[in-house]
Amino acid sequence: MHIGRCIRNIGRPFLSLEFFPPSDEDQLPGFYATVEKLHALDPLFVSVTSGAGGSRRRNTLAVTSEMARRGLNAMAHLTCVGAEPAAIADFLQDLRKAGVANVLALRGDAPRDGSWAPGMGRFQYAADLVAFVREHDPDMGIGVAAYPGPHPESPSFTADRDHTAQKIRVGADFVVTQLFFDAREYVDLVESLRARGVDAPVVPGILPIQSFDSLRRVLSMCGANIPGNLYLQLEEADRKGGHEAVREAGRNFAVDQIRRLLDYGAPGIHLYTLNKSDLCLQIAGEAGLA
């Protein structure tokens, strides 16, 4: 089903989930067991990431196709990195054959080996990819990403918001945000897009904090900010109770953040699962989304 239309028509707060394909086929049985546990949450849609630097696109296709076969409304991530028009057209056709009608169009992170960089090839930015998908398959559902705080490479908030608005204008249907930890950033993002005449749904992406190590790793990768008071709370939890206390504090914060966002009027919540079921089930239940 077309995700953009589903979001506009559902009429109540929803939950959606993000997964990443296992790198080893031996991990697939455990991965799909996790998927089935979270299927019980009745997500409006699920998304499947692409590998770093645009790698493992076939893995993304295989996992997305299997999720569609299992009755989930699945969406494949699609990046500009190393992408050529013929390959993208084939990928879209393969998705359609598998019953998948949605993609999340992203610029993607440049590979460390320097084989691709922004400005290279036919698809330089996500807006280029959106325009191509919309022209090639007019009824494909297209989501795009947005940073509640500006993209690390963006010169300013204004420039970043302009780029997000442009992705909608060339054909995207809805927005899923990068992770963030300050609800006010989401409010500012939505209001700035509305001021630009963009009324596409904006779904906040929430990453449950599971440990200090995972938090530091994610922050270094995506450039998100963490409020000082939250960091101090996590530090105190770590000092008093170690890993489990940090995990509990992270869960409590995620639940509170979700409630704040829904009170503001967010259409739903996109939960970054990290392929883990127990914490996601707890958060969804406590936040009233289960």
Alpha helix (H) residue ranges in the chain: 3-10, 28-39, 57-69, 85-97, 126-136, 157-169, 183-195, 212-222, 228-264, 278-286
Give the residue from 90, 109, 34, 93 showing the smallest Cα distance to 67.
34
d(CA 173, CA 168): 7
Among all residues, which ones are annotated catalytic? 18
Query: b/e for 73-86, b at 16 or more Cβ within 10 A?
Result: bbbbbbbbbbbeee
State the greatest distance between any 2 C-alpha atoms of the chain, in Å, as a whole number: 56
Cα→Cα distances 23→49, 59, 63, 281, Å: 12, 8, 11, 24
Give residue 7's identity as a one-letter amino acid code. I
Give the residue from 46, 37, 67 showing the smallest Cα distance to 282.
37
Cβ partners under 8 Å of residue 233, min gap 6 = 249, 253
